[in-house]
Structure 1
């Protein structure tokens, strides 16, 4: 079993009598379904339907707590503050939870069962004890432990400190394998939910009412066939920070930016992995096209990439 300190996240707290009602009209997830035993992933979009930030949403007492990438809570607060003046909702960039751990690997369930009477059984399910909440963030299973009260969880924290440490790169690799891309300061308002697979991975709820950007997000999902999407691929050569993917198909070559990558390591499947937004046509295997299709790294001409399945597309 491994642990990693997820200290780079930032949290936005939405409180007040209208906290849920206010967020329901602003974000892509359905807050009518939010409760103390269910967290959810969501996105805040601009009027053009582009993602300002994604987040994980958790209910704490009567407040809504949004976990986002580093510095993104500040951006969400600035965006939402324009609308919050018309609602009984207060926004604050929060220093709670005090600690956040990522937990996974052999023995994780046995270890956690010593501290929690019941473990979350499905993705996004939440189990609580005094001073802490345990979230199952993937089916693998993989967990996040949010510590709100260090004094109330001293025994739990002491036991966690005895676990083997992993690097944040190990956790990020698992995120890549799960097909999860978190919007950061460099990519805010750059991509639509469809490009990042948010429309098929549960980040967007198409059964809820209106929210900012909803009309465009829904139109792209229901009325148009996606020409580009986020794909997980594996390279036979190491991926560098300057690498891009060369997509050769239909007699043309188009470059695609690699959003996240993780080269092989001793504890995993020895594959160089990456997430990139590719032309769907360049990834389509068929008798007529397969011979003319190829994916390679721009800076390694002897490289080749293969598309891997994502858990939410199976």
Structure 2
């Protein structure tokens, strides 16, 4: 395997959960199972409102004795930390912003492991992500940067969209139920664990066949922004979807967008308005299970 390329993700931060109840507290609040979290895997997870809408998406792993770290986009960190802290109550868990202590890197061509497998290098961790060779590396902020050529933020964003992955950003807070961004397909939801905020609605979307929107990947020749609306030519007055992640390369733009499934059946899709740039559908790199 050629040497990996890397990028310091300056738009990511880290929350520390520390205490005897750290894992059990997170288990009660997030969409994934943290009670069974081991040292060889990380967890993709979401933090939802009572209505099942995602406030944040994050990756969590064991860092030390009674300590779990959560990496997530920095633009949702402060609100997530504040809201999680409201529910700690008597749990033996202290939450804090540890972003000043850690550097988060995105790596391409770094691993052949399955998504969410975790490798340790001293205090640093490397977490395999969905998409061929992609990984997240979190290390002490004063440690040397990973070896390998530095890529651009757009290189990384393109690879994220190509992998069919979208993180909740400031523009998309409360925009999605987890399945709308294929979160359960990517390993971000446990349907066997106990209750968490929004659990009933997330479960209902899964088992009652009511999901009418999904994340899909598109290519276009115009720049796009997260949160930008998408329109269908057959129903030009109503938005058909929203951009969830996007990157550019060689004058082209790749978009992972949450879209009405019905909008894929007729007409054409356009960015920003029904007269905007046309979106060309690309295949997802993973399968979406059929609804019952």
TM-score, normalised by the number of residues in structure 1: 0.81
Q: How many Å separate the matches in 2 of 1:74 and 1:298?
A: 29
Which residue is 2:70 aligned to? Answer: 66
Which residue is 1:277 aligned to? Answer: 258
1:51-93: CA deviation from partner (whole Å, max 9, x where unpaired): 1111001110121111111132221221111211121111111
CA RMSD in angstroms comes to: 2.4
Which residue is 1:117 aligned to? Answer: none
Which runs of 5 or more structure 2 residues have no equivalent in the other structure?
A: none
Structure 2 residue corresponding to 1:15, chosen from 15, 18, 26: 18
1:88-110: CA deviation from partner (whole Å, max 9, x where unpaired): 111111136532222213xx46x
1:309 and 2:283 aligned: yes
- State the 4+ residue runs in structure 1 displaced beyond 6 angstroms: none
Which residue is 2:223 aligned to? Answer: 239
Structure 2 residue corresponding to 1:194, chosen from 168, 179, 194: 179
Question: By how many angstroms is 1:196 displaced?
Answer: 1.9
What SS class does the counterpart of residue 172 from structure 2 fall into? Answer: coil
Which residue is 1:103 aligned to? Answer: 107
Which residue is 1:122 aligned to? Answer: 114
1:298–1:98 distance in 2 versus 1, CA, 3 Å: closer
Which runs of 5 or more structure 1 residues have no equivalent in the other structure?
A: 110-119, 285-291
Q: Tell me which moved more, 204-213 or 69-78.
A: 69-78
TM-score, normalised by the number of residues in structure 2: 0.86
1:302–1:180 distance in 2 versus 1, CA, 3 Å: closer
What SS class does the counterpart of residue 270 from structure 2 fall into? Answer: strand
1:136–1:262 distance in 2 versus 1, CA, 3 Å: same
The answer to whether the Cα contact below 8 Å between 2:103 and 2:140 also exists between their aligned partners in 1 is yes
1:297–1:87 distance in 2 versus 1, CA, 3 Å: closer
- Map 1:1-314 onto structure 2 (within 5 A): 1-62=4-65, 63-95=67-99, 97-105=101-109, 108=110, 121-148=113-140, 150=142, 157=144, 160=147, 163-235=148-220, 237-241=221-225, 244-249=229-234, 252-253=235-236, 254-255=238-239, 256-265=241-250, 271-284=252-265, 292-298=266-272, 301=275, 303-313=277-287
Query: May I ask how many residue pairs the two structures share in their alignment?
Result: 281
